[in-house]
Amino acid sequence: MTVRPPGWFEPLLARLGTARAEDFTRLTTPAEGGRESAVLVLLGEQPGVGPDVLVLQRAANLRNHAGQPAFPGGAADPEDADVRATALREANEEVGLDPGSVTVLAELPKLWIPVSDFVVTPVLAWWHDPHPVHPREPAEVAHVARLPVSELVDPANRMLVRHPSGWIGPAFSARGMLVWGFTAGVLATLLEMGGWARPWSRKRVVELPPSGATPAPSAGTDEVDETALR
């Protein structure tokens, strides 16, 4: 089922027509190698709230990316027809998302995450028929939330985070979640492209507690640079 997205999608879709990997990250995606994977960037809308995005939080005891916020998604399986199928399958397995409730709109450029050697394709979609979702495997997913765009772009909810490794990147605080790393970087770029971003202070830096995980450079920056941060 294909459903036409609301008008607020149009500026973002128009900008994505010319998007390159360089718009999201300084890292060059390797021409070969890397594990193919996909994430679902699912935008919906709630009455009285406006546009929102679906984000989950990884369980705290995972080997990789423990406790981190993320878009639903993961590595491709041999039976997946394409990256869209991967993103939808993973979202169903992780949070019970009904693929029939989603209209896929675009594939973003492939982005490389060096720490896991994943080559990730973010898949942008419109949640035309939203329904309740929840962690299907609590051992892997601790929490699921719909984060309003209005809260993500609120300057009071934007900051930089500094990882114990020294890496610094953009972050968002919304609905009790601190969104950082790869997910925050993709969100920061999409908010700019969609024309939703508001000016915010780069002077607020939050220290992340040691987690034992080496963070992947997020989209937008890998150091404090006023010309690169979004």
Condensed to tens digits (0 to 9), the pLDDT of residues 35-75 reads 899 999 999 999 999 999 999 998 756 555 556 899 999 99
Map tokens 């997946």 to a residue.
80
d(CA 95, CA 77): 18
Confidence of residue 172 (pLDDT cuts 50, 70, 90): very high
Provide the strand spans (E) within 14-151: 35-46, 50-58, 69-70, 73-75, 102-107, 111-113, 118-127, 141-148
Tokens representing residue 183 in the block = 């997910």
Contacts for 135 with CB less than 8 Å, ≥ 6 apart: 56, 94, 95, 141, 142, 143, 144
Which residues, in sequence order, are bridge partners of residue 46?
50
How many angstroms from the chain centroid is the CA of residue 71? 5
Task: Give pLDDT, residue 32.
Answer: 75
Assess whether pLDDT exceeds 60 at residue 224: no
Tokens representing residue 80 in the block = 């997946």
Assess whether pLDDT exceeds 50 at residue 111: yes
Task: Give percent of the chain above pLDDT 70.
Answer: 86
Contacts for 166 with CB less than 8 Å, ≥ 6 apart: none
* Average pLDDT value for residue range 20-30: 83
Task: Give pLDDT, residue 85.
Answer: 98
How far is the first Cα of the chain from the last one, in angstroms, to the nearest whole number? 35
Confidence of residue 216 (pLDDT cuts 50, 70, 90): very low
What is the dihedral sign for C-alpha 210, 211, 214, 218?
Answer: negative
Tell me which of 77-86, 120-129, 168-177, 212-221 is least confident. 212-221
How many angstroms from the chain centroid is the CA of residue 99? 18
Task: Give pLDDT, residue 221.
Answer: 37
Q: Who wins on pLDDT, 216 or 148?
A: 148
* Average pLDDT value for residue range 122-136: 97
d(CA 169, CA 159): 9
Map tokens 């985070």 to a residue.
161
* Average pLDDT value for residue range 148-171: 93
Assess whether pLDDT exceeds 50 at residue 227: no
Assess whether pLDDT exceeds 70 at residue 214: no
Compute the mean pLDDT over every residue in the chain, rounded to the nearest whole number. Answer: 86
Task: Give pLDDT, residue 145.
Answer: 95
φ/ψ of residue 50, rounded to 5: 95, -165
